[in-house]
A = this chain, B = another copy of it.
Amino acid sequence: MRWVPGGVTAPKGFVAAGVAAGIKRSRKPDLALVAADRPAAAAAVFTTNRVQAAPVLISRARARRGRAQAVLINSGCANCLTGPAGMRDALRVSRAAAEALRIKESHVLVASTGLIGTRLPVAKIERALPKLARQLSRRRHEAAAQAILTTDLHPKEAAVEARINGRFVRVGGMAKGSGMIAPSMATMLCVLTTDAAAPARWLGGLLREAAEETFNRISVDHDMSTNDTVFALAGGGSGAAIRPGTAGARRFARMVTAVAGRLAERLVRDGEGATKRMTVEVCGGRTAREAQACARQAAGSPLVKTMLAGSDANVGRLAAAAGASGARFDPARLEIHVEGVRLVAGGAALPVPAAALRRLLRRPHVRVRIHLHAGRASARMLTCDLTEEYVRINAGYAT
């Protein structure tokens, strides 16, 4: 398996484009289209929030049928809390996309991201769609990746290639998201494409597993969005058909997880206001669920995240987060390492020079290991620091 350029259009048979349709007041790109040259097997994972945006409701019903040929995504408006009118709006733009592409409307998946509670500017999107469709090309993957961004600073793309059944197969993807990213959910928006052929139902299972190992292992803040969506489209353009249960299927699954993992990492790297990252690894948990709860509590703690921002070695906050997580362990056996240096052993903080600690915490990616000494389960989370910039961004988002 090797990394290749190209994002969502790295796999054969996919084209993409992104334009400024005028949804964002900033006039930045805000409408992206990804299309396949034929109906593809489709699967999706959505937010578990009880309040769900109109496009989530529509795409959920369509993805369930297992076929799709295009994904239309707008930024600048979440089309959520918009009631029946929001449903009509989402259906109108999906119809316009189907007409521009001359494909079945039920094969159009839609997603929206941006401010909650405002109506989708349907007329602007309808006006932009013919041009967007004309621009579709294998080269325009980055324009699409740009157009789905909100407060993100950088587009997020990844693609890999590997040989399966004698054919070169590719998996590509793009994602957006930098705030409102929490564990226990899908993620923000992500489109994965592949030129392998795969049964839609199997692809869905694989997608859920990949999301669980990647997007569900990151945390920027503790919030959960109403619009999170991960789509996967398998077009089959490579000529390779994945048969579940084979070595090729396992390799393909690793490719999907690799692309999702790299995109997840980039989501954290581009977290709102983030200046650095932290990997929290918990080992010695009694159960996988407890190890995971502990890693999540530490990775989500505002006090741990501000400590990281300030390179301020306050190992007690890691211990307090572990203790608050619900994981069962003997505090007298707790052990904590930061960047390989043991700071807590036998439940007591060790004397480590503050200057040395500060140097460790100044690293751009800080690795923390919490050993609970209560069992054999382990878990890992990736998070970023909580900075004044995060507050600045989110204190003035709507205006």
- Residues of chain A having any CB pair with chain B under 8 Å: 49-52, 78, 80-86, 115-118, 179-180, 182, 185, 221-226, 300-303, 306-307, 309-310, 312-317, 319-325, 327-329, 331-332, 334, 344, 346-349, 354, 358, 386-388, 390-392, 394-399
Residue in B328, B348, B397 whose beta carbon sits within 8 Å of that of A83 in the complex: B348
Asked if A391 and B314 sit within 8 Å, CB to CB, the answer is: no
Cα–Cα, bound, A321→B397 (Å): 16
Does the CB pair B224–A398 fall under 8 Å?
Answer: no
- Min CB distance A77 to B, Å, is 11
Residues of B within 8 A of A302 (CB): 221-223, 302, 390, 394
Select A49's contact among B49, B324, B395, beta carbons within 8 Å. Answer: B324
| Least Cβ–Cβ distance between A315 and chain B, in angstroms | 5
A180 to B197, CA, bound (A): 51
User: Which single member of B78, B310, B354, B394 contacts A307 (CB below 8 Å)?
Assistant: B394
Name A50's contact: one of B80, B225, B329 (CB within 8 Å).
B329
Contact, CB under 8 Å: B226 / A319: yes
Residue in contact with A117 in the complex, picked from B81, B344, B386, CB distance below 8 Å: B344
Does B300 contact A81, Cβ atoms closer than 8 Å?
Answer: no
Partner of A115, one of B85, B316, B387: B316
Q: How many copies does the complex hold?
A: 2
Given A394-B302, A395-B309: A49 touches B316 (CB 8 Å cut-off): no
Cα A323 to Cα B51 with chains together (Å): 5
With A and B bound together, what is the CA distance between A310 and B394 in angstroms?
A: 8
How far, in whole Å, are A332 and B322 apart by their CA atoms in the complex? 38
B314 touches A116 (CB 8 A): yes
| 9 sample A-B contacts, Cβ–Cβ < 8 Å, listed by A number | A51-B331, A80-B316, A80-B320, A81-B315, A81-B334, A81-B344, A82-B349, A117-B314, A226-B319
A115: which B residues are within 8 A, CB to CB? 314, 316
Distance in Å: Cβ of A350 to nearest Cβ of chain B: 9
Contact B349 A51 (CB under 8 A): no
Q: CB-CB < 8 A to A221: which residues of B?
A: 302-303
Is there an interface contact between B310 and A346, defined as CB atoms closer than 8 Å? no
Contacts of A398 in B (CB 8 A): 307, 312-314, 354
Known contacts A78-B316, A328-B50; A391 and B386 CB within 8 A of each other = yes
Report the bound CA distance from A354 to B312 in whole Å.
39
- CA A208 to CA B394, docked complex, whole Å: 36
List residues of chain B with CB within 8 A of the CB of A314. 115-117, 397-398
> 8 closest A-B pairs (Cβ-Cβ)?
A116-B316, A310-B395, A83-B348, A51-B323, A117-B349, A306-B394, A224-B324, A50-B323
